[in-house]
Amino acid sequence: MAGGEGEVQYRSNVLRGPANALGLAMVGGPLERLLAERKRRVFADLPKTVLEIGPGIGANFRYMAAGTKVLAVEPNPAMHARLEAAARKHGVQLELHTAMAESLDMPNDSVPMVISSLVLCTVQNPSGAVAEILRVLQAGGRYAFVEHVAAAPCSRLRRLQHAVRRPWAYFFEGCSCERELASVVGSAGFTAVELVEYEAGPRWLPVHTQIAGVAVK
């Protein structure tokens, strides 16, 4: 669905784009320790070709076997140098795409596996992005995800997620902590979706409530 009227455009910011890349480099270690167990489960048995949406600086390359071909859809140019360095470090074959998740530049039914972590919170249209993932997946292909989501309605954390929404989105390039992503994936049209809801990190952290799972086309 590339090139249509009303197509989503990436709005790169000269300061926040690089700042977010640097931020990921700085928090990468602790963040990975927090998510590693979930990621090891859903990113197990990755095939030789993987499409990763919003790979950032390549945090997920460590879950791939050396030689894996990664179609990396990363529209923020400030991420690219670190992403390429991570690909070299982990021995993955990087094919960089600057498209948006909402308008993937790949044919229908063309990839066996899609992964994402902490990305559906930031894309401008999560339902559109998941529809695109479903479009490019081969029949029987899998979408594995680890994402942060909205806390329970009326909970203290949900109120906090709402209170910080504007500065959070400003500093983290559109990120929202209020998205109900389980229902976005669940209603997209996959033949099966298995996911777990869990909590990670300090309870006051706006990204404390998360989901991890696998959806099959």
Chain contacts with ligand SAM (rule: CB under 6 A): 24, 53-56, 59, 73-76, 79, 100-102, 117-119, 122-124
Ramachandran assignment for 173, one of left (phi > 0), alpha (psi -120 to 50 degrees), beta (any other): left
Q: Residue 40: helix, strand or coil by DSSP?
A: helix
CA distance 164 to 177: 9
Tell the smallest beta-carbon distance from residue 128 to ligand SAM (Å): 9
What φ, ψ does residue 196 adopt, rounded to 5°? -120, 145
How many CA atoms lie less than 13 Å away from 155 in the CB half-sphere?
13
Tell the smallest beta-carbon distance from residue 195 to ligand SAM (Å): 17
CA distance 141 to 110: 9
Tell the smallest beta-carbon distance from residue 154 to ligand SAM (Å): 27
Tell the smallest beta-carbon distance from residue 31 to ligand SAM (Å): 7
Nearer to ligand SAM, 24 or 182 (CB): 24
Nearer to ligand SAM, 75 or 141 (CB): 75
Nearer to ligand SAM, 79 or 212 (CB): 79
Nearer to ligand SAM, 72 or 157 (CB): 72
Q: Alpha helices of 64-143 — where are they, by DSSP H?
A: 80-90, 126-136
